[in-house]
Amino acid sequence: MTINILGIETSCDETAAAVVQNGRHIMSNVVNSQIDIHRQFGGVVPEVASRKHVENIGLVVEQAISDSGLSYADLDAVAVTNRPGLIGALLVGLSFAKAFAYGIDKPLITVNHLYGHIYANLLEHPHMEFPAICLVVSGGHTSLLLMHSDSEYDLIGETLDDAAGEAFDKVARFLGLGYPGGPAIQKAAASGQPGRYSLPRVFLNRSDLEFSFSGLKTAVMNEWRKAQQRGEADVNDMAAEFQYALVEVLVGKTMQAAEQNNARSVIMAGGVAANSLLRELMTQRGRELGKPVYYPSLSLCTDNAAMIAAAAYPLFIQGRFAPLNANAQASL
């Protein structure tokens, strides 16, 4: 049996739609990014994001269906992100998905955005072994999940304050490197050397699996001002040290969780999983511990709708459909 699911994603500043067949085969994947619009503000402006979603969503969905080579009649369900995210942005996608599902007389499936990021891995690595530890790391979330299977998760650790991606954005803005912060920090760090400045590896030596990046952000600001007073401020070296300090904590905590829970695999998901140093150090540490590390290709790390359609597939099989009065939730 062939199941074609249209996925819609508008949780932040990407208007995205995709068609995925049987939860694995990407028939189309269209993303309209607003990065250039929000760059002038140094971050995402929720009201602006919502308005751009309204302008773009119809065209993006039509493009995704056209690219898939399918017709409306070939679709079996409409899946949409309804949590977590910017409430106005979520409501645009959810409202469109409700109307579209009603119009073509197909079931509606609502999807947790974080589960979508996890399923980005399953699109490309269907043979991962469980139990697995999954690090979900993005602009709004830094969490560790113990995955018993591809649909059973336990939250075992999370950030107590800033998410890793949020820390990247704030530090990049403070150092004048621009937006989005992750790519900006990575680019500057490529020309710098970690170790010239001394930044803390927050919570790395604790036995729990919690994260905290607010203190690291503050440490960057204090160290930078001292370096400026000494006439020793080098933005590339500071970016390199900050990136290394943050990544070491992510890798350390993730592998600690993998050892504590006898995980057979380690998975990374979310926009920060695109960071090259994180991929390198996580893979290296996983090799040392005999635990394979998986992460999506770059196009599936950032927000997209293919991951939403993929995450909806097991819900479709289980008949877990959403009513047309389903609502959006800004937080989990």
Query: Can you say how many angstroms the Cα of residue 306 is from the centroid of all Cα atoms in its chain?
Result: 13
pLDDT at 130 over 80: yes
Mean pLDDT to the nearest integer, 135-146:
91
What's this model's pTM, rounded to 2 decimal places? Answer: 0.91
CB neighbourhood size of 105 (10 A): 8
Based on the structure, what is the number of domains in the chain?
2
Tell me, what's the pLDDT at 140? 81
The CA distance from 153 to 192, in Å, is 39
Given a contact cutoff of 8 angstroms between Cβ atoms, the answer to whether 304 and 331 are in contact is no
Tell me, what's the pLDDT at 150? 82
pLDDT category of residue 40 using cuts at 50, 70 and 90: confident
Q: Are residues 305 and 285 in the same domain?
A: no
The CA–CA distances, whole Å, from 21 to 77, 149, 310 equal: 11, 21, 8
Q: Minimal CA–CA distance to 115: which of 89, 87, 149, 91? A: 149
pLDDT category of residue 157 using cuts at 50, 70 and 90: very high
Tell me, what's the pLDDT at 47? 81
pLDDT category of residue 241 using cuts at 50, 70 and 90: very high
The CA distance from 145 to 308, in Å, is 18
Locate 250 and state its tokens. 């992510």
Mean pLDDT to the nearest integer, 113-121:
92
Query: Does 99 reside within a domain?
Result: yes
Query: Does 329 reside within a domain?
Result: no
pLDDT category of residue 151 using cuts at 50, 70 and 90: confident
Q: Minimal CA–CA distance to 200: which of 138, 230, 242? A: 242
Q: Are residues 29 and 161 in the same domain?
A: no
Q: Minimal CA–CA distance to 194: which of 167, 222, 166, 223? A: 223
pLDDT at 223 over 90: yes
The CA distance from 171 to 168, in Å, is 5
Q: What percent of the chain has pLDDT over 70?
A: 99
What lies within 8 Å, CB to CB, of 27 at 6+ separation is 4, 18, 19, 20, 21, 67, 68, 69, 70
Q: Are residues 209 and 62 in the same domain?
A: no
Q: Over the stretch 47-72, which tens digit does the pLDDT of each residue have?
A: 888 899 999 999 999 999 999 999 99
Q: Are residues 137 and 234 in the same domain?
A: yes
The parent domain of residue 234 ranges over 129-291
Mean pLDDT to the nearest integer, 30-55:
82
CB neighbourhood size of 322 (10 A): 21
Q: Over the stretch 165-181, which tens digit does the pLDDT of each residue have?
A: 999 999 999 999 998 89
pLDDT at 111 over 90: yes
Out of 128-132, 176-180, 289-293, 313-317, least confident range? 176-180
pLDDT at 126 over 90: no
Q: Over the stretch 246-263, which tens digit does the pLDDT of each residue have?
A: 999 999 999 999 999 999
pLDDT at 139 over 90: no
Q: Are residues 59 and 142 in the same domain?
A: no
Mean pLDDT to the nearest integer, 224-250:
96
Which CATH number covers residue 79? 3.30.420.40
Q: Minimal CA–CA distance to 202: which of 246, 169, 162, 266? A: 246
Mean pLDDT to the nearest integer, 291-309:
94
Query: Does 196 reside within a domain?
Result: yes
Q: What is the mean pLDDT of the chain?
A: 94
Q: Are residues 109 and 162 in the same domain?
A: no
Q: Are residues 251 and 135 in the same domain?
A: yes
Q: Over the stretch 4-27, which tens digit does the pLDDT of each residue have?
A: 999 999 998 889 999 999 999 999
Q: What percent of the chain has pLDDT over 90?
A: 83
Tell me, what's the pLDDT at 49? 81
Q: Are residues 181 and 272 in the same domain?
A: yes
Q: Are residues 48 and 192 in the same domain?
A: no
